[in-house]
Amino acid sequence: MTTPEQNEYLTRTGPGTAMGNLFRCYWLPALMAEELAEPDCAPVRVKLLSEPLIAFRDSDGRLGLIDEFCAHRGVSLWFGRNEESGLRCPYHGWKYDVTGQCVEVPSESVESGFCAKMKLKSYPLVERGGILWAYMGPPETQPALPEFEVAMVGPRQRFLSKRLQQNNYLQAMEGGIDSSHVSFLHRGALKTDPLLKNAQRSVQYNLQDFQVKFEVVESDGGLLIGARRNAENGHHYWRITQWVMPYFTAIPPRGDYSVGGHFWVPIDDESCWTWSYNYHPTHDIGEDEIKAMKAGHGIHVELIPGTFIPVKNVDNDYLMDRSAQKSGASFSGIDGVAIQDSSLQESMGPIQDRTRENLVSTDNGIILARKRLRKAAQSLQQGILPPGVQPASQSVRSAALVLPPDAVFKEAAKEALIARPGVPLTTI
C-alpha cells in the first residue's frame, strides 16, 4: 500500500524535494535541437523540474539555459532580444550572456561595478544526438554526457518527437514500465499500425497469449522487465524492456523496424514531456517509416502545428470513437498508441492518488521501479550518487527473442541487451 507521504515523495520534483534532487543528478532532455536551430534565433521558454527557464543560442552558437526572469524587475526574458552574443531584456536593456552573467546595464556606469554583480541562475545545456540536454544539479557532481544509443547514432538513423502530457511524470513512466497493457489497450493498433505490418510473427505471440508472465530483475542503471509468452514447441517468446533511472525506457523491437522508447521528463508536478524516439543501430531509417512516424503512427503523435500539444487531447476527448470501441477496431476507442496511453494516464488526474490503487502481479515492474527511485533518493542524502548516472549504464538495448523453456532471460539475452555500435538489434 502506498501512503500519501510515499506518493508525495515519489511525485514532487521541484527544488529542494528528495525526488527533485535525484533528477538533478542526471542530464535531462530539455529541448529538441531544432528548437534552437541557429545563432540568435528566438529564445524558448523551458520549464523543468518546476523551474521556469529560458533557453537561447547566442550569436556565436553557444547554448544558454538561464532563469526566465530579468534580475532588474522580473520581466520574462522570453521577450528578450537575442543579439550580439547575449539576451537583452526589452524593458530597460539589461543584457545577459549564456552563463547568466549580466554584461550590460545601460543606466549604470561600468566603473560602478554594478553590472558585474548581477548574475542569473544558469545551467549547462549541450547538444547530443538531436537533443539539448540540461544538467541542473551541483557542478561538482556533473556526470559525463549521456550515452543512450539513440543519442549516439547518426541523424538519419533516428527519429525524435516530444509531446506535452498533462500529468505527473511518474504515472506516465509507469505506463512505459507496465507492458501488460499492450495486449489490451493497444490490441487494435497491433493489427493496424503501419509500423507493425511487417512484424506479424511478434504480434501473433502478443495476441495469442494474454496470460503474460513477468520477471523483473535489477540492472546496473534500473530494471530489466521480461515479459514471457508461449511460443512454438514449449519455447517462450520474451520481450525485454529496459528502464534506466530516472526517466528512460526502451520498448522491445518488432521485426526489422527501428526500435523505440521514451524519456519522461517532469515539467512541473502536474505535467511532463513525453519524448518518443526510434532508431536503427546499423542503418538509416527508411523513408516509409519516417513518413508514418511523422503522421503520428507507432509511438509518435500528430501535433497541433507550431506546438508540442497533441491534436487529440483532453479538450476534444481525444476524439474518442465509441463505434470503434464497440466493434473492437480499437480497444479503448482512441486512435493511436501514444494517445491511447496519454488519454488514460491523464485521466488518472494530475497526480495519481496511489493510496487507492490495488496492484497485481503484472505491476511488479512499477513496484520495483518506485522502490529503486525511493532508495536512490534516500541514498543521495548520504552523498551516494544514484544508478543510471554513468554512461555505461545507459548503453543498453531492449530485445525480443524466443528462448528455450529453462532459459534464465537475463543470462540468455545478456549480449542482446548491451548497445554495441554496428551490431544489429535482437528482434523477432
Contact residues for ligand FES, defined by CB under 6 A: 70, 72-73, 75, 89, 91-94
Closest CA relative to residue 397, chosen from 297, 291, 287, 282: 282
HEC readout, 247-273: CEEECCCCCCCCEEEEEEEEEECCEEE
Closer to ligand FES by CB, 70 or 185: give it.
70
- Contact of residue 94 among Fe ion, ligand FES, none (CB under 5-8 Å per partner type): ligand FES
Closer to ligand FES by CB, 78 or 91: give it.
91
- Contact of residue 73 among ligand FES, Fe ion, none (CB under 5-8 Å per partner type): ligand FES
Closer to ligand FES by CB, 12 or 95: give it.
95
Burial class of residue 159 in the structure, from the number of CB atoms within 10 Å of its CB (0-12 exposed, 13-18 middle, 19+ buried): buried
Closest CA relative to residue 192, chosen from 319, 327, 287: 327
Segment near Fe ion (CB under 5 A); pick from 41-49, 336-344, 368-376, 391-399: 336-344
Signed CA dihedral, 351, 356, 361, 362: sign only: negative
State yes or no: residue 67 binds Fe ion (CB under 5 A).
no
Dmax (CA) of the chain: 84
Closer to ligand FES by CB, 109 or 382: give it.
109
What minimum distance in Å lies between the beta carbon of 91 and ligand FES?
A: 4
**What is the C-alpha to C-alpha distance for residues 260 and 298, in angstroms, rounded to an integer?**
9
What minimum distance in Å lies between the beta carbon of 77 and ligand FES?
A: 8
Residue with cell 500528430: 302
Closer to ligand FES by CB, 113 or 305: give it.
113
Closer to ligand FES by CB, 107 or 198: give it.
107
**What is the C-alpha to C-alpha distance for residues 295 and 290, in angstroms, rounded to an integer?**
9
What minimum distance in Å lies between the beta carbon of 111 and ligand FES?
A: 20
**What is the C-alpha to C-alpha distance for residues 70 and 81, in angstroms, rounded to an integer?**
12
Contact with Fe ion (CB under 5 A): which of 341, 368, 396, 397? Answer: 341
Q: Which stretch of DSSP H or E encloses residue 63?
A: strand 63-67
Partners of 88 in the beta sheet?
81, 95
What minimum distance in Å lies between the beta carbon of 70 and ligand FES?
A: 3
Segment near Fe ion (CB under 5 A); pick from 113-121, 208-216, 334-342, 354-362: 334-342
Partners of 277 in the beta sheet?
160, 261
Q: Going by C-beta distance under 8 Å and a sequence separation of 6 or more, which residues neighbour residue 233? A: none
Closer to Fe ion by CB, 218 or 357: give it.
357
What minimum distance in Å lies between the beta carbon of 59 and ligand FES?
A: 20
- Contact of residue 89 among Fe ion, ligand FES, none (CB under 5-8 Å per partner type): ligand FES
In the three-class reduction of DSSP (H, G, I as helix; E, B as strand; rest coil), residue 49 is classed as coil
What minimum distance in Å lies between the beta carbon of 120 and ligand FES?
A: 11
What minimum distance in Å lies between the beta carbon of 193 and ligand FES?
A: 49
Closer to ligand FES by CB, 75 or 344: give it.
75
Cβ atoms 206, 188 nearer than 8 A: no
Amino acid at 68: E
Closer to ligand FES by CB, 70 or 334: give it.
70
| Count of residues near Fe ion by CB under 5 A | 1
What minimum distance in Å lies between the beta carbon of 93 and ligand FES?
A: 6
What minimum distance in Å lies between the beta carbon of 81 and ligand FES?
A: 11
State yes or no: residue 174 binds Fe ion (CB under 5 A).
no
Distance of CA 218 to the CA centre of its chain: 20
Distance of CA 192 to the CA centre of its chain: 25
Closer to ligand FES by CB, 73 or 283: give it.
73
What minimum distance in Å lies between the beta carbon of 315 and Fe ion?
A: 22
**What is the C-alpha to C-alpha distance for residues 276 and 161, in angstroms, rounded to an integer?**
5
Residue with cell 531509417: 285
Q: Which stretch of DSSP H or E encloses residue 135?
A: strand 131-135
**What is the C-alpha to C-alpha distance for residues 275 and 158, in angstroms, rounded to an integer?**
13
- Contact of residue 341 among ligand FES, Fe ion, none (CB under 5-8 Å per partner type): Fe ion
State yes or no: residue 178 binds Fe ion (CB under 5 A).
no
Binding residues (CB under 5 A) for Fe ion: these are: 341
